[in-house]
Amino acid sequence: MGASEQFNDKHLLVFGMGYLGLRVARQALSKCMRVTGLTRSVEKAENLRAEGFTMIVADMVERRWYPEVIEPVDYVLNCISAGGGGVDGYVRTYIEGMHSLLQWCAQSFRGRLVYTSSTGVYPFSEGELISEDTEFEPQSETSRILLGAEGLLMTAGQPGWTILRLAGIYGPERHYLLNQVLSGESELPGEGEVYLNLIRVEDICSAIWKIWQADEPVLNSIYNVADDQPGLKREVVAWLAEKTGQPTPTFNPAKSIRQRHLPNGKLPHRIISNSKLKQATGWKPEFRTYREGFADLVE
Is the pLDDT at 3 greater than 80? The verdict is: no
Alpha carbons 119 and 114: distance in angstroms, whole number: 15
CA distances, 18 to each of 24, 194, 241, 245 (Å)? 10, 29, 29, 32
Q: Which domains does the chain have, with CATH numbers?
A: 3-172+199-227+272-285 (3.40.50.720)
The amino acid present at 227, given as its one-letter code, is D
Work out the number of other CB atoms within 10 angstroms of the CB of residue 31. 17
Share of the chain above pLDDT 70, in %: 95
Least confident of 4-8, 13-17, 279-283: 4-8
Residue 259 pLDDT more than 70?
A: no
Query: Using CA atoms, how far apart are residues 102 and 93, in angstroms rounded to an integer?
Result: 13
Query: pTM for the whole thing?
Result: 0.95
Residue 15 phi/psi, 5-degree rounding, is -105, 115
Are 168 and 190 spatial neighbours (Cβ–Cβ below 8 Å)? no
Long-range CB pairs of 50-54, under 8 A, 24+ apart, other chains included: 51/26, 53/17, 53/25, 53/29
d(CA 10, CA 109): 13
Q: Could you report the per-residue pLDDT of 131-181, keeping only the tens digit for each? A: 999 999 998 899 999 999 999 999 999 999 999 999 999 999 999 999 999
Cα–Cα distance for residue pair 190/219, rounded to 1 Å: 37
Name which of 17-21, 85-89, 211-215 the model is least confident about.
Answer: 85-89
